[in-house]
């Protein structure tokens, strides 16, 4: 009998632990969902294409649909959030290479920005998905370049 009572006690403790973890996860999810609109609005004020990209991969719809963003975008937005600009540490040669790529965006020209790894990685991911980059990525890169060149 003592063994059965001990098992019941452990089951109750496990149930309580799961309930606490579930409540904590729910609270964290709610806080995340509440923060998304402000993050998107902030990005829209500085770089509208970046805002659209963030919304697509990390917005409320993506969270609700349980869409897991590609790692390359997690890293890209981590870099964006941890530095004023992904390009603030890029040298003049790397910025010029980005400008060349933007003038003629193609898979063969993507190697020009190898010195800006996070941007290069996103391009390679996009090219793996298909030949069309889509306008937003080019607009994002253009705005990042413009911000990096603006004193």
pLDDT at residue 54 in the model: 92
pLDDT at residue number 52: 92
d(CA 34, CA 67): 18
- Residue ranges, the chain, pLDDT below 70: 1-16, 19-20, 83-87, 89, 151
* 92-103 vs 135-149: helix crossing angle, rounded to 10: 150
pLDDT on residue 2: 59
Convert the pLDDT of each residue in 41-63 to its tens digit: 998 988 899 999 999 999 999 98
Q: What local confidence, expressed as pLDDT, does residue 8 receive?
A: 58
- CA 92 – CA 53 distance, rounded (Å): 26
């Amino acid at each position: 009998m003592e063994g059965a009572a001990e098992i019941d006690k452990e089951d109750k403790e496990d149930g309580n632990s799961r309930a606490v973890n579930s409540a904590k996860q729910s609270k964290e999810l709610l806080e995340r969902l509440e923060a998304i609109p402000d993050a998107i609005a902030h990005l829209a004020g500085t770089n509208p294409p970046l805002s659209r990209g963030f919304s697509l991969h990390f917005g409320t719809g993506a969270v609700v649909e349980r869409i897991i963003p590609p790692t390359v975008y997690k890293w890209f937005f981590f870099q964006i959030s941890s530095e004023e600009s992904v390009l603030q540490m890029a040298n003049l040669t790397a910025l010029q290479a980005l400008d060349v790529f933007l003038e003629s965006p193609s898979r063969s020209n993507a190697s020009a920005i190898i010195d800006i790894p996070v941007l290069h990685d996103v391009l390679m991911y996009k090219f793996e998905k298909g030949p069309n980059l889509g306008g937003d990525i080019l607009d994002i890169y253009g705005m990042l370049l413009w911000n990096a060149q603006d004193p």
